[in-house]
Amino acid sequence: MAPTAYYIALSGLLFAIGMIGVLTRRTAIMIFLSVELMLNAANLALVAFARAWGDLTAQTAVFIVMTLAAAEVAIGLAIIVAIFRKRETTNVDDLATLKG
Amino acid sequence: MLTVPEVHLAPMLPILIVLAGALASTVLGFFLPRRALTVINLVLLALSGVSMGTLWNSGAAAFGGALQADNAAVLLGLTILLGSAMTLLVSLDTAFRARVSFPEFDAMLMYAVTGTLLIAFSGDLITLLIGLEIMSLSSYVLATLQDSRPAEEAGLKYFLLGAVGSAILIYGIALVYGATGSLNYVGIAERAAGLSPQNLTILVGGALLLLAGFGFKVALAPFHQWTPDVYSGAPTSVSLFLSTVVKVAAFAGMLRVFGGALQNAPGWAPVLQILIAVTLIVGNAASLFQTNFKRMLAYSAVAHTGFLALALLGTPGLGGAAMAYYLLVYTLMTAAAFAIVAALQRSEKGMEISDLRGLYFRHPGYAVALAVCLASLAGLPPFAGFFGKYLVFQAALQGGYVWLSVLAALASVAALVYYLRPAMLMFMPDRTPAREYAYGERPATTFTVALGVIGVTVLGILPNLWYGWVANPAIWGTLAGR
Amino acid sequence: MPLYLLPLFPLIGFALLILFPRLFPGRSAGWLGSFTVLASFVVAVLRYLGQTETPAHEVLWTWLPNMALNANLAVGFYLDQLSALMALIITGVGFLIHVYSISYMGHDPKFVRFFAFMNFFVGMMLILVLADSYPLMFVGWEGVGTASYLLIGFWFSGRNSEAPDRKLREASDREGVANSNAARKAFIMNRIGDLGFMLGMFLLYKLYGTLSIPELAGRVAGAQVAQAGIELACLFLLVGAVGKSGQLPLTTWLPDAMAGPTPVSALIHAATMVTAGVYLIARSHFLYDLAPNASMWVAWVGALTALYGALSALNQHDIKKILAYSTVSQLGYMFLAVGLHAYSAGVFHLLTHAFFKALLFLSAGAVIHALHEEQDVRAMGGMRKFMPFTHLAALMGVLAIAGIPIWSGFFSKDAILAAAFTADPILYVVGLGVALLTAFYMGRWYFLVWRGEYRGHVAHPHEADGLMQVPLGILAALATLGGFLNVPSFLGGNHAFDTYLGRAIPLHPHEISASTEWLLTVLAVVAGVGGLLWAWAEHRRRRLADGPLGQVSSNALYLDRVYGSLFGIPSRAIAEGLDVVDRSVDGTLGGIARNSVAPGGLFTRWQSGFVRAYAVSMLLGTALIIGYWALKTIGGGGW
Amino acid sequence: MIAFIVLGALALVGAVITVAARNAVHAALGLVGTLLSVAGLFASLSAAFLAATQVIVYAGAIMVLFLFVIMLLNANQPISGRDPVPFVRELAGIGGVLLAGAFAVLAFTYRDPRPLAEGAAALQGGNAAPVGEVLLTRFLLPFEAVSILLLVAIVGAIALVQRPAAQPDGLTDAEGAALPTSPDLQPERGRA
Amino acid sequence: MIHLMIFLPLLGSLLLLATPKRWREEVAGFFAALTLGLGLLIWRGGGAELFSVNWVPALGITYSVALTGVSLALALVTALMSFIAVLYAARRVSNPGTMLSLVLAMETGLLGIFAARDLVLFYVFFEDALLPALLMLAIYGKPNRMRALVKFAAYTLFGSLLMLLSIIGVRYYGGSPTFALVDLVQHPVRGVTQTWLYLGFLAAMAVKLPLWPLHAWLPDFHEQNHDSGVPDVMGTLYKVGGYGLFQFGLPLFPDASLELRPVLMSLAAFTALYAAWIAFQQTDWKRLIAYAGLSHMGFVALGVFSLNETATIGAMYLLAFQNVYTGALFLAVGMLQERVGSVHTRVGGVMTQAGALGGMTLTLWLASIAVPGLAGFIGEFSVLLGAYQVQPWLAFVAGLSSIAAAAYALTAFQTTFWQGRPLGAVRVWDLQHTEWLVLGLPLAVALFFGVYSAPALNLIQPAVRGVLAGLGGS
């Protein structure tokens, strides 16, 4: 089997990519997708560690994190939709009136 | 065979009561007017407070330590309840003007409170995480609830950045787990002691990620940038809630994690001190140049985050006590200030600082109250803000962070300047017509303001009333639980 | 009779007059003022008569911390022959001048205030001379300074500032500005001297640990202190004396001080206050005896000032200015004397000078009065016809100051010249030359005012009234006969004055053969007579109006302008500069107050409103934190 | 090992597509790819139950929801025009590299606390039964609490999308006329 | 009794808000007079000994107060001047309720400062006095007061926060159980730490002295304050830096104060000269008096820093009584402004019509430029004499300012009160009613203590001896 370190490195890579996505994508949905990517990286790390410790709690934790993600998606998409209804845009750069 | 752990009702009673309030608002919202629900919720908050009081010194725990109702939890929980109650009171008067006077508002608020209590009572990282998420999600909704462009923009910003923040937090949890193989504070604290250097590296990495994640929740620079926008975009009563309750809860979580679980883990303190320094500079310097009072308060909230976080650098005994004292005082004065803004603002954008000119001659009561709050925020005796500052300085000094304390001192000079300008403007007579909402003074708000002002003054003259409770170092020695 | 009564009476008078001016209608204020001074005079006389060998020392109450030997310095009065003499002069001459003023100031709207100030002055002057410690003497010192300030500026808004007529009003305003400036100048220049006085006290305290004069006198003998210290202390005291007595280089205020009413000039700026410097040095004789160099400085300052005063007096046209410069010059004589440790001679000249200079000023005042405030000698002349009595008195004064035998000036000046001769021929020559010049300019003054034909504008100048004549008469008598108090031995006298004063101040009798004495005397007389003759000759040739040295003399050797450009202008410039600096020192704070400084703009630009920008800082922050940690791990650095 | 390499590569490719694809739908599909391969990795980490959940909940439910919203808001066209945030790509690149590098460093300092074989064995393949047992014993509280979270999600989503009407608070001015809401709030739109 | 004296004014100011308009003057005057009376009683009783109770036990903060020696003298002066300020405010300010209550509130803060024998308590009162001062400036100030406000507050807080740090440090590094002075002295901090802590403490005191270069708030504060000059009186009383240094600085940081003596003394001497010289350029009476006061404070600092007994006594004496005549001068300027409608120093000829006003102002001025026979002289002379024993040259530099003082004082006086009144200028009426008292009382005090200093010396001298003995200083 592959050592844990590999998995962690992989997850770290995924996390970094997700971050790049957050920064470079310009529509709310895409940014949100990238966040999902980061969450998955976290999950992957957790599961890998779970194996390393031979401990099921981490896997359970992952299960819960997935639920969190789902809930977040629900709220997030709701917000996005609500905004879209009023402005017909998902470009986050259009929402920059609050500043300074 | 499956053995369900012991489930004591007592430790979770406070949370359950609040939850009941949330559910009630959700369900009864179809039958009862919103104001009735608010009253019910206020009562429930009070009840929850009482039940919390019964937990004092009981050291009760449930779910195998996943939920611990130790004194720390009680003290922080009471602070949270106070802030929530003040929010509800203010919302009684201002929710309609802000167009958020419907049951869902209360429901979301109560859910958020549930989450915050969960954080304060949490015994392991997962509970903490869930608490944080409940709190955050409901806060996203609260910030967006108002049907206005600023609110929506605020909500979206809050949500996107918040999601990223939680992702970082979760990754941190993963690393910490990887290093210690445990998710509850006690286990982490125990294993953090004897670790091979490699996994210590991972542990510190996780700790730093947790720091970043929490840094977002409490608005430490450079994770603070959502704060001004969200506070100024959201309805003022919501800003009140976010700047008091949510921040208190986030700090409660930080106290649990860094004061408890990771207390003797190395590495995070030096980073935290850098973050604090940046926060102090950014927060104070930026608020010097605000022209909108509401937004200035938002920035000052950032600045205060810096002061509060100073307490984390002290020894848990002193630091925890300082933090607990400061949090209560901070809640009182910030809530009162926001309450006055909410009451007197013409538009949801809050009032410009220049609008405050001559307020003393139109609304003497509120003007004096606001002046007191600002003086307390600036840390002038005899108001409690002074002792808050004093305590965190003391904690930081005894932690050996002299340069940071000096920086904090200088920063609060700048703070004085920007608090002083509005405070003094209120007392300068002017000829121009009033630019604030004429019918703002109403019983509930007045009560809230009075509560804040009296509290700040009394705690300033007799700090022991509160500090006597929180001073005992034993409370903060066992943040991780036994 | 306790000593404190001496200053107390005039001060009571001052208090009454200044607090309840309305209680004293008409001339009653003048009488009250004169009476209080008379009362002090009586006390002084009684104390003088009851005087014993041992000086009287009466301590009142504790005053300054730690300034006596291991104790707090007390307020106390000290009466020895010197102070007794001074007290007599002050109260006696003072009383005469008070009486004179009743008539002279009779028509002034601020009659009451005038006498209040005069009383205040007398009181302060008495404190000065009776003080048992330098700080207390300093009280009187600055007190008389203040009094002189108030009295020089007595007409601070001009003499008819309420006049409805614009012309008069403007003239009066100009006069007011001039008077005020003169007063201020006097005070400030005195302050310069006072600083020296204070430093002297500080140093004395450092050396001997006390400022009480008797204690000092007691310790000076025994204490072992560096010679330089004593010399320096004496020089500091000299600075003080110079300031008060209008000696070089602080002399320019004294001529300006003539802006005050004439009795003031007579009392303060001729007879008493300006001699305080001489008194100070005589009082500190026990120090100067130990400080030869400092004493030499004193002598030279005196000699040069005498010369300076005489030269400046040559071509003045203000009847009082001439007398003022002559005062400067005569004070120089006194300094010369005390500088040569001939204290008795100096004090004796002080005495005679008090008589004849007061006399001259008062008679000048009478003339001014008669000519309705006309002060230019070119617009006078032939006054002899209009006011014979005053003329006679004035003549006595002129003869006295010119040093004509049997008149008082002759004896006192002679003693000084003798002392100078023994000490240093150059000083003697200077002194002799000054004597000549003195005789000349006084002669000029006399001929221009009293002889020749009348050039005035007033139709019929009237003779002074009785109230003014009585003091004139008494003073004339004193100026004439005062000299016989101290007839030198070679003239068959017994140095009565010297022996009296000798009880307080040890004498340094100079050994000169009687023949030399005679020679010196003759020379002095020749100088005096020669000067007068020279003036008379000029008078015959009608060329007296503008005396020798022309502008140089009438501008007092341009000393004022030099000071102005040397100190006045620069200090103003510096003040201006400092002010500018001080206002701009806190520009940044002001900027913050006005909410407009750069750094804040930085943060607001960072807060650009784009959520992704916020994400950038968040995630970069995270990356940096973790990166820092990773690097530290690679570096294997500890945590 | 092979499994790891293959799946890891796939995951990375998917991730890159997610981040880089101009068309939103492609990006979403790329994410699906990543999620699936992560599920595979779960399996290879002896977390069978999680793998299944990953496929069903994530790749299934959540991504469908995403796609649905993308279509609804037809947000699939990429946004053109210059980026208002300066240097964002460069900064993102630097930050990403830094982050990835740092994580790699941290990862390779990790030493397994116990032999992997043991650990894997102790997991009992991570089947539903053991996981469920943990969930109902040691994670009882989180398990319950998550339900609150979901409730919040539901109520919040509804409240956001269907903004209810504001209820007057009976505040009146001097004349007793009801006071309006803040002027800068635009009047409520008729709801769908 | 002492507690009553401290908090009576505060009580009064709170009561004042409740009393009907027409009674406010009387009530305020009553409370101010009562406080003064209490002070005199305490004086007659030989001062109030140390009284100490725990305030915040958990933090070792105590409520320790005492009114003896120097602090009693200063407290008495404070009470007196507050009373006079109340008198004048009641007469001059229309509807003075707010100002009166602020004055009283500030009086409590000031009395507390002088009475406090616990560092934190001292700090608390120190800041409490700030608020009323700010409010007075804000409510009654001149158009561009905001700048003055910000400067005033910022300078003050800059100092006091550093002081707060060193307060904490003093207890922490010294390991004293409480912040009470007695305990702190028992547990001294040594070495370089002490120096650093002293610098922190000094920051606050230097601002409040004020000492160059931390003085910039002073002129603006006075210039922008209300014309009546009542707030200026309180502001003058608020210059407590010298007292703080004496009461707390010297006992707590003996080595440091000995070590820094030359530097600090030169700063002080420079301040004295610098201020006097600038004052010469001022054409605004309030700025002028402000700089004059600054110059006096230079003398005070010189005395305290010199650690010489005579000089320290003089410094305290000067500190106490400059409040009297400087404050009275501000009020005199207020009267001048009321009459000619300006505080410019080129009005001219006022004394031709208002003799008493001019005379009193002149006498106060003379007191302020230390003409002997008035209270100013004793202090200044002792300071200079003492300082000369330590640093002759610095004493000389400071002494130079006495010349400059004569220059600025007499110039301003002359161009305002002397010389001709401009044709057609408003007619100036002379002192009336309470104004006589308002100027006369301080004048009498200044005169009395200039001639007969024993009562004050008996308070000050033993206290100074005690402190310096503990210091073992020269």
**pLDDT 10s digits, B30-64:** 899 999 999 999 999 999 999 999 998 888 888 88
At B323, the pLDDT band (50, 70, 90 cuts) reads very high
**C633 reaches D (C-beta below 8 A):** yes
What's the pLDDT score for residue E473? 45
Spatial separation of the C-alpha atoms in residues E169 and E252, rounded to whole Å: 12
Q: Which residues contact E24 (CB under 8 A, 6 or more apart)?
A: E16, E96, E97, E100
Which segment of C102-106, C581-585, E470-474 scores lowest on mean pLDDT?
E470-474
Buried-exposed string D21-32: b where 16+ CB fall within 10 A, e elsewhere: beebeebbbbbb
CA dihedral for C533, C539, C544, C549, sign (positive or negative): negative
> Of the candidates D139, D156, D169, which has its C-beta nearest B126's C-beta?
D139
At D157, the pLDDT band (50, 70, 90 cuts) reads very high
The DSSP bridge partners found for residue C152 are none
Query: Shortest Cα distance from A28 to chain B (angstroms)?
Result: 8
At E220, the pLDDT band (50, 70, 90 cuts) reads confident
Q: Where are the alpha helices (DSSP H) in E280-391?
A: 285-306, 309-340, 355-368, 375-390
* pLDDT (tens digit per residue) in B379-420: 888 899 999 999 999 899 888 898 999 999 888 888 888 898
Q: Which residues of D touch B (CB under 8 A)?
A: 102, 106, 109-111, 113, 133, 136-142, 145-146, 148-149, 151-153, 155-156, 158-160, 163-169, 171, 173, 179, 181-186, 188
Token pair, residue C341, equals 């440790």
Cis peptide, bond prior to residue B222, ω within 30 of zero: yes
Q: B136 and B218 in contact (C-beta within 8 Å)?
A: no
Under DSSP, the state recorded for C71 is: E
> Of the candidates C63, C146, C199, which has its C-beta nearest E371's C-beta?
C146
Q: Do B266 and C639 count as a contact with CB atoms less than 8 A apart?
A: yes
Which segment of C115-124, C455-464, E26-35 scores lowest on mean pLDDT?
C455-464
D74-83 own/partner pairs: CB under 8 Å, 24+ apart = D75/A27, D75/A29, D75/A84, D75/A90, D75/D24, D76/D23, D76/D24, D76/D25, D77/D23, D77/D24, D78/D22, D78/D23, D78/D24, D79/A26, D79/A27, D79/A91, D79/A93, D83/A26, D83/A93
Beta strand pairing status for B67-69 and E48-56? Answer: unpaired
Q: Which residues of C touch A (CB under 8 A)?
A: 604, 607-612, 615-616, 619, 623
Burial class (CB in 10 A: 0-12, 13-18, 19+), D16: middle
Token pair, residue C188, equals 């400030």
Above 90 in pLDDT, residue B454? yes
Quote ipTM for the complex: 0.89
Above 60 in pLDDT, residue C639? no
Which segment of B7-11, C558-562, D176-180, E117-121 scores lowest on mean pLDDT?
D176-180
Q: E198 and E259 in contact (C-beta within 8 Å)?
A: no
Query: Shortest Cα distance from D91 to chain C (angstroms)?
Result: 7
Q: In degrees rounded to 5, what are phi and psi of residue B69?
A: -100, 60
> What integer is the mean pLDDT of D57-71?
87
**C1 reaches D (C-beta below 8 A):** no
Buried-exposed string E299-314: b where 16+ CB fall within 10 A, e elsewhere: bbbbbbbbbbbbbbbb
> What integer is the mean pLDDT of C278-284?
92
What's the pLDDT score for residue A49? 92
Q: Which residue, B320, B339, B319, B306, is CA-closest to B82?
A: B339
Spatial separation of the C-alpha atoms in residues A52 and D113, rounded to whole Å: 7
What's the pLDDT score for residue B228? 92
Of all residues in chain C, the percent with pLDDT exceeding 90 is 38
Q: Do B181 and A53 count as a contact with CB atoms less than 8 A apart?
A: yes
Q: Which residues of B touch E (CB under 8 A)?
A: 321, 360, 375, 378, 380-382, 386-387, 389-391, 393-394, 397-398, 405-406, 409-410, 412-413, 416-417, 420-421, 424-425, 427-429, 463-464, 467-468, 471
Q: C524 and C414 in contact (C-beta within 8 Å)?
A: yes
Alpha-carbon Rg for chain E, nearest whole angstrom, is 21
Work out the angle at residue C503's Cα, subtended by the Cα atoms of residues C498 and C505, and round it to the nearest 5 degrees. Answer: 75
What's the pLDDT score for residue C592? 52
Spatial separation of the C-alpha atoms in residues B102 and B105, rounded to whole Å: 6
Q: B218 and B250 in contact (C-beta within 8 Å)?
A: yes
What's the pLDDT score for residue D191? 41
CA dihedral for B21, B25, B28, B34, sign (positive or negative): positive
Cis peptide, bond prior to residue D168, ω within 30 of zero: no
> What integer is the mean pLDDT of D125-139?
86
Question: What is the chain A residue with the closest CA to B124?
Answer: A61
Q: B71 and B56 in contact (C-beta within 8 Å)?
A: yes
* pLDDT (tens digit per residue) in E289-317: 999 999 999 999 999 999 888 999 999 99
Above 50 in pLDDT, residue C342? yes
Which segment of B134-148, C202-216, E75-89, E142-156 scores lowest on mean pLDDT?
E142-156
Question: What is the chain A residue with the closest CA to D43?
Answer: A47
**What is the average pLDDT value for chain C, to the nearest integer?**
87
Q: C22 and C76 in contact (C-beta within 8 Å)?
A: no
The DSSP bridge partners found for residue C58 are C77
Above 50 in pLDDT, residue E89? yes
What's the pLDDT score for residue C588? 55
Of all residues in chain B, the percent with pLDDT exceeding 70 is 98
Spatial separation of the C-alpha atoms in residues E323 and E239, rounded to whole Å: 9
Alpha-carbon Rg for chain A, nearest whole angstrom, is 17
Q: Do A19 and D92 count as a contact with CB atoms less than 8 A apart?
A: yes
Overall size of chain A counted in residues = 100
Q: For helices E261-279 and C569-584, what crossing angle results, to 10°? A: 110
Greatest C-alpha distance within chain C: 118
Query: Shortest Cα distance from D6 to chain B (angstroms)?
Result: 24
**DSSP percent split of chain E into helix, strand, coil, nearest 5:** 75, 5, 20
What's the pLDDT score for residue C542? 81
Q: Where are the alpha helices (DSSP H) in E141-238?
A: 145-174, 181-186, 191-208, 217-224, 230-237
Which segment of A19-23, B174-178, B336-340, C597-601 scores lowest on mean pLDDT?
C597-601
Of all residues in chain E, the percent with pLDDT exceeding 90 is 34
Q: Which residue, B139, B196, B195, B194, is CA-closest to B166?
A: B139
* pLDDT (tens digit per residue) in C298-336: 999 999 999 999 999 888 888 899 999 999 999 999 999
Above 80 in pLDDT, residue D172? no
Spatial separation of the C-alpha atoms in residues B141 and B122, rounded to whole Å: 23
Spatial separation of the C-alpha atoms in residues E258 and C600, rounded to whole Å: 42
Above 60 in pLDDT, residue C599? no
Token pair, residue C205, equals 């305290």
Q: In degrees rounded to 5, what are phi and psi of residue C57?
A: -135, 110
Spatial separation of the C-alpha atoms in residues C111 and C117, rounded to whole Å: 10
CA dihedral for C474, C476, C479, C483, sign (positive or negative): negative
The DSSP bridge partners found for residue C79 are C56
> What integer is the mean pLDDT of C235-263?
89
> What integer is the mean pLDDT of C246-266?
88
**What is the average pLDDT value for chain D, to the nearest integer?**
86
At D117, the pLDDT band (50, 70, 90 cuts) reads confident
**What is the average pLDDT value for chain B, to the nearest integer?**
90
At D192, the pLDDT band (50, 70, 90 cuts) reads very low
What's the pLDDT score for residue C586? 61
Of all residues in chain B, the percent with pLDDT exceeding 90 is 57
At D36, the pLDDT band (50, 70, 90 cuts) reads very high
Under DSSP, the state recorded for B11 is: G
Token pair, residue B38, equals 């608010």
Token pair, residue B235, equals 């309805």
